[in-house]
Amino acid sequence: AFCYRSAGEGNLCEQPLSSFAHGQCKYKCLERMRVRNFTGTKSQVGVMVHIVENAPALEVLIVDPIRLHAGYTGHVKAAALSAARRIAFKSISGKLSAKTKFAVL
C-alpha cells in the first residue's frame, strides 16, 4: 500500500505506507469509509489500520466482505465470510476512536 506525499520541491513521490512514521500521512477530511471485497489479507489489514490510525475525523467505517464471496456457495462461502469478519473485528476494532461507528457486514 502506498501514500502520496509532498517531497522536496513539491513533487509527489510514492512510498510504501510502512516507510512513514505514525501520523506522517493524515487523512484529515476522511469521515466515512466503506471497504468492499475484504478478505482479511495482511495488506488489506495494513491499509485499514494505517487509515484508521491517521484519520482523526473518521466517523463511520464499514467493512463489506460479502460482494467478493457472492459467487461462492454453501460451506465455502460461510467459512470465508466468517474468517473475513473475524479478522476485521480483531485487527481494527481496538484501533478506532470512541466516536467512530464500526460495522462488519
What is the Cα–Cα distance from 27 to 57, expressed in whole angstroms? 8
What is the Cα–Cα distance from 38 to 72, expressed in whole angstroms? 15
Residue 11's pLDDT is 40
Q: β-pairing, 11-16 with 2-7?
A: antiparallel
Q: Is the pTM for the entire model greater than 0.85?
A: no
At 69, list the grid cell.
Answer: 464471496
Residue 95's pLDDT is 92
The residue to which cell 466482505 is assigned = 65
Q: Is residue 81's pLDDT more than 70?
A: yes
Sign of the four-CA dihedral 19, 23, 29, 30: positive
